[in-house]
Amino acid sequence: MKRMRAAILYGPKDIRIENIEMPKVKPEWVLIKVRATGICGSDLHFYKEKSFIPIISDVGKGRYVPGHEFSGEVYELGSKVKGLKKGDRVGVEPIIGCGKCQWCKVGCYNLCEHYKLIGFHYIGGMAEYCVAPAENCFKLPNNVSFESAAMLDCIAVAIHAVNKAEIRGGDSVLIVGAGAIGLFALQAALIQGASDVYVVGKYEFQLEKARKLGATAVINAKNESFSEKIMEITSGKGVDKVIEAVGGASNVISDVLDVTRKKGTIVTTGIFTRPLSVDFFKILTKELTITSSWGYCYFDRRKEFGTALDFLAKEKINTQELITHKYPLEKVSEAFETALNKNKEKSIKVEIIF
Which residues in this chain contact Zn ion in the complex, by CB under 5 A? Answer: 40, 97-98, 101, 104, 112
Quick one: 101 or 191, whose CB is closer to Zn ion?
101
Least distance from C-beta 124 to Zn ion, angstroms? 10
Distance of closest approach, residue 114 Cβ to Zn ion, in angstroms: 5
> Measured at the alpha carbon of residue 215, what is the angle toward residues 211 and 216, in degrees to the nearest 5?
115
CB of 100 to Zn ion, least distance (A): 6
**Contact yes or no for 32/128 (Cβ under 8 A):** no
Rounded CA-CA distance 339/244 in Å is 20
Strand 89-92 versus strand 137-139 pairing type: antiparallel
Residue-wise over 114-132: b if at least 16 C-beta within 10 A, else e?
ebebbbbbbbbbbbbbbbb
Which one, 110 or 307, has the nearer CB to Zn ion?
110
Distance CA 249, CA 247 (A): 7
Nearest CB to Zn ion, comparing residues 41 and 214: 41
**104 or 118, CB closer to Zn ion?**
104
For the CB of residue 42, give the shortest distance to Zn ion in the complex, in Å.
Answer: 5
Taking the complex as a whole, the smallest distance from the CB of residue 91 to Zn ion amounts, in Å, to 14
314-321: Cβ within 8 A, 24+ apart: 315/143, 316/187, 316/191, 317/155, 317/184, 317/187, 317/188, 317/191, 318/187, 318/213, 319/147, 319/148, 319/151, 319/155, 320/148, 321/183, 321/209, 321/212, 321/213, 321/348
The residue (of 181 and 199) whose beta carbon lies closer to Zn ion is 181
Closer by beta carbon to Zn ion, 150 or else 194:
150
In what helix (H) or strand (E) does residue 138 lie, and over which residues does it extend? strand 137-139
Between 187 and 265, whose beta carbon lies closer to Zn ion?
187
| Nearest distance in Å: CB 102, Zn ion | 8
Residue 98 CB, shortest distance to Zn ion, in Å, is 4
CA–CA gap between residue 156 and residue 249 (Å, rounded):
25
Q: In Å, what is the CA distance from 56 to each residue of 37, 52, 63, 101, 269?
A: 22, 11, 7, 22, 25
